[in-house]
Amino acid sequence: MFSERIVGSLAGGSAIRAMFEQGNILKKKYGAENVYDFALGNPDPEPPVSVINDLKKYAGEPGIHKYMANAGYPDVREKIAAYMKKETGVEFTGNNIIMVTGAAAGLSITMCSILNPGDEVIVIAPFFGEYKGYVGNFGGKIVRVPSIPGTFQLDVPAIEKAINAKTKAIILNSPNNPSGAVYTEESLKALNVVLEEAEKKNGNAIYVVSDEPYVKIVYDGVKVPAISAIFKNSIVVNSFSKSLALPGERIDYVAVNPAIEEADVLMDALIFCNRTLGFVNAPGLFQKVAAEHLDDVAGLDAYKERRDALYEILIETGYECEKPQGAFYLFPKAPIENDVEFCNRAINHRLVLVSGTGFGYPGYFRLAYCVSMETIKNSKESFAALRKEF
């Protein structure tokens, strides 16, 4: 009766959302203050006051609530192109930018535009589980390549082995969800050499699709290398959901490297897919607002404080964990091999965690520390008790 592909995918639905619902059940039973829910990466701070003020300013602008060109407002696209040029040194123009309704839409229209049935897309584990849907929806196949254990950096030789004539793209996510790792410039440049050699050998482009919602959330002086400056065939998908704490507003952009062969055709394809997949236009009001805050980031100092506090708790209570360089997640090693069982056992201690299996990296679990300091500090006793079980 229904789509066999979709119905077959339901059992493997989002582990994040499943644990989020479990957290809600626990909160009803024990009270929210007695549950330590680290499941959902929902930005904790409110948007900057300047963002709210601009929202009020633009809300009454004539025509702001009407349709616009499907790629977005031309002035907004030009502002973002100028920003991208400043950050990367690449000659972006407004014709290389399309505004979309969140990173999910940006990734979806990208995959719709570049994939043919049977094409392969390499993903670096651990990875955001929804990539499987974004690729599979358009006939593509995910190829998992694990990152280096411990550091979660790119394993370039392993990526090279995974490339074949069917490889159409590789998705990079740095800072990474769930590990918080920032891929080094050295490893990215080494990957570029591998991709260029593979392109010559197989006679087709391999697109580097960079999913960058956390690119501004980095700590300790770490700098995120500019993907557009390293990879000629790059497509950047950036989001304001995390940087401006606006996940509910679904505002994002896709930037196509002008060096891509027939970049204009790719842009036309993206615009076409944006319309025919039903996204139509990115929210007009938030296009204008976001374009005024390209350099801003909400809550960075608070995230760093929470990262340090939760990391310290984990180490003190006996867990193994790499200190993340960016995003707002910790990805510790589970004390037992079965990370799903470990996360289920954590519920008995009113801890809501997400298994690494849901990110294609078994044996670990994810903690989203975009929660209150009170939640983090009060969770210590529960983490200690859980660890003693093993």
12: CATH: 3.90.1150.10
Domain stops at, among 247, 273, 291: 291
Lowest mean pLDDT among 43-47, 345-349, 364-368: 43-47
One domain, residues 126 and 183: yes
Q: What is the pLDDT of residue 26?
A: 76
* Whether residue 269 is found in the same domain as residue 369: no
Question: What is the DSSP track for 342-359?
Answer: HHHHHGGGTEE-EEGGGG
Q: Are residues 105 and 235 in the same domain?
A: yes
245/362 same-domain check: no
Same domain (yes/no): 222, 171: yes
> Do 207 and 179 share a structural domain?
yes
Determine contact, residues 240/246, Cβ cutoff 8 Å: yes
Answer yes or no: is pLDDT of 312 > 80: yes
Same-domain pairing of 61 and 200: yes
Q: Which two tokens stand for residue 237?
A: 């998908």
Q: Per residue in 190-247, pLDDT tens?
A: 999 999 999 999 999 999 999 999 999 999 999 999 999 999 999 999 999 999 999 9
Q: To the nearest 10°, the Cα dihedral for 105, 108, 113, 115?
A: 170
310 and 235 in a common domain: no
Is the domain of 282 the same as that of 308? no
Question: What pLDDT digit, counting tens, does each position of 106-146 carry?
Answer: 999 999 999 999 999 999 999 999 999 999 999 999 999 99
Per-residue pLDDT at 184 exceeds 90:
yes
Q: Residue 332 corresponds to which amino acid?
A: P
Domain that holds residue 358: 4-47+298-388
Check residue 33 and give its pLDDT: 83
Assess whether 269 and 328 both reside in one domain: no
Instruction: Give the count of domains, the chain.
Output: 2
What CATH number should be reported for the domain holding residue 210?
3.40.640.10
Domain shared by 106 and 196, yes or no: yes
pLDDT at 27 (0 to 100): 75
Together in a domain, 74 and 152:
yes
